[in-house]
Structure 1
């Protein structure tokens, strides 16, 4: 929901709470206790305003809250030459170097996939690797001696 919509929701909710509490107290609850309508509606309005203040506080927190970014839409950037950025976990082979491709690990029972990171994942240097989750695979940048992955 956009910011304007959240503010509109906050305002409408605050107004509705004020009207509902004022009416319920002035028309249903307080007539059993007070005979004078001027006193009864004065107290009902004060109670409605008090509860509406709590609703307004809630509405302001909802309206000014920064919406959570969907982890599936988290920014993932691989900007450098031969760089790799993975927004979630990795269970495969990642190789950015000149050496031979690393041997994948032996097959294991599939692990539960790691949830994607809600933060920005960026690999900006040459042959850099950035992961936003857990790594269970082989990762090699080719920076080992003689370009041979270990």
Structure 2
């Protein structure tokens, strides 16, 4: 929604937030309490004004806020790759977690990571290859891309 649309919504909601409590108070709620119509509608208008003032503050903030940046695009390719589009707050591991043997490719020395794109788009986080991690935010956890077991080199 564009800036004009946000302002239109803010104005319509503010007008409605004045009209509805004023009418409800003046026509339905207050007649049983206040018999004089002038006093009843003055009190109802004050109530509507108070509600509209609060909603008007919300409307101003709603109409003038900038669009939220969804964050960078995060992409990883390859076996055991991890892509995190937000903030990481926990352990991330892309290796073996037991006492198993390292992968056959690692023993043979044949690890060749996949090629990264030639020109990544602005705001893009890319990692390619086996056991890669791409994070589009702050890391607060433990990261590991190797084996977690008995046969570590």
Structure 2 counterpart of 1:88, from 74, 83, 87:
74
2:23 pairs with 1:20: no
Structure 1 counterpart of 2:85, from 102, 105, 115:
115
Aligned residue for 1:88, secondary structure, equals strand
The unaligned stretches of length 5 or more in structure 1 are 75-86, 93-106, 123-130, 138-150
> Matches of 1:25 and 1:13 in 2, distance apart?
18
Q: Over aligned residue pairs, what C-alpha RMSD do you find? A: 3.2
- Structure 1 runs (4+) deviating above 2 angstroms are 89-92, 119-122, 131-137
Aligned residue for 2:76, secondary structure, equals coil
TM-score when normalising by structure 1: 0.55
Contact 1:22–1:47, Cα closer than 8 Å, also in 2: yes
> Matches of 2:8 and 2:28 in 1, distance apart?
29
> Matches of 2:14 and 2:70 in 1, distance apart?
29
Aligned residue for 2:85, secondary structure, equals coil
> Matches of 2:16 and 2:144 in 1, distance apart?
53
Query: Could you report, residue by residue, the CA deviation over 1:39-87 in whole angstroms, capped at 9, with x for unpaired residues?
Result: 000000000000000110110110011111344xx4xxxxxxxxxxxx4
The unaligned stretches of length 5 or more in structure 2 are 88-121, 126-133, 146-153
> Matches of 2:135 and 2:85 in 1, distance apart?
9
